Amino acid sequence: MLTLSGIVKSYGERRVLDDVSFDVVPGRLTGFVGGNGAGKTTTMRIILGLLAVDGGQVTLGGAPLTPAVRRGFGYMPEERGLYPKMRVLEHIVYLARLHGFSREDATTRATAILERLGLGERLDDNIEALSLGNQQRAQIAAALVHDPEVLILDEPFSGLDPLAVDVVAGVLQERAAAGVSVLFSSHQLDVVERLCDDLVIIAGGAIRARGSRDELRAQHATRRFELLSSADAGWLRDEEGVEVVAFDGGYAVFDAADEAVAQRVLRSALERGDVASFSPQRPSLAEIFKAVIV
């Protein structure tokens, strides 16, 4: 398990990370969410040892990270960079060889991961000849080719079309399922919501929320329910302990004072007509995000 504890980082007078602590658990996808300038990239660069910390430490399995351990990590930097004049396959093979694979192994791996990411047709093209989305795929291949046990990906989904997002998401899930610790940042909250097992929310250099997605949802659950019934839902307004948020014929969204009120409303609704659906409204990640960063 990759653990950050009490990470502090300042640029001059400005403190950009303040007591940042969280875990990245093997076998789980951890989403790292925050606004622009919240400290995501700085945190990731610190994990990779590209930046020095002013306090706190990063450990893997309890042991502080050494350069040798970090070399086993897979990293995709925020600002994309590969040699523009190198061919796609050649480039990924080169990176795999830098990680210590023989030329044959490196070629096998690079070909496999590039094909998996949908670049099988472009192996002999120069990097600079690829579209931005395809360069992005090559960049992901660069992070994955040496089979890292820890993956740190800064915005791996930015600039990808929905199909490519699915492919990359699939690859990341496979890696997680094989026991890799995966940390990735993203602005696309819907993707994070769909994909992540764990969430870390950062704002202004401080961690505002962390934990499993379901835990966070439960923590931020409101008593808001949605009712769709055949009868007009106007009666809800007179119900005790109920505050109607939206209302349209048989459709209503309301806040119930407690679980018992909600159950009572459901029973009443069934007495008045057919109920097509009755469900608690689960907070979306966007809602949790807005709730924790203010």
Is residue 50 near another protein by the rule CB under 8 A? yes
Among 15, 71, 223, 282, binds another protein (CB under 8 A): 71
| Sheet containing strand 242-248, strands side by side | 242-248, 251-256, 224-229, 275-280
Is residue 51 near another protein by the rule CB under 8 A? yes
Is residue 75 near another protein by the rule CB under 8 A? yes
Residue 105 CB, nearest distance to another protein (Å)? 3
Q: At what angle do helices 103-116 and 132-144 cross, to 10 degrees?
A: 130
Q: Are 183 and 153 in contact (CB under 8 A)?
A: yes
Residue indicated by tokens 């190198």: 86
Residue 148 CB, nearest distance to another protein (Å)? 10
Window of 21-29, 31-39, 68-76, 266-274 that interacts with another protein by CB under 8 A: 68-76
Residue indicated by tokens 């400290």: 39
Measured CA to CA, the distance from residue 5 to residue 211 in angstroms comes to 15
Window of 71-79, 186-194, 222-230, 246-254 that interacts with another protein by CB under 8 A: 71-79
Q: Find all residues with CB under 8 Å of 38, minimum gap 6, and list them.
A: 202, 203, 204, 205
35/72 with CB nearer another protein:
72
Give residues in contact with another protein (CB under 8 A): 45, 48-51, 67-68, 70-73, 75, 77, 79-86, 94-95, 97-102, 104-105, 108-109, 112-113, 116, 142-143, 146-147, 170, 173-175, 177-178
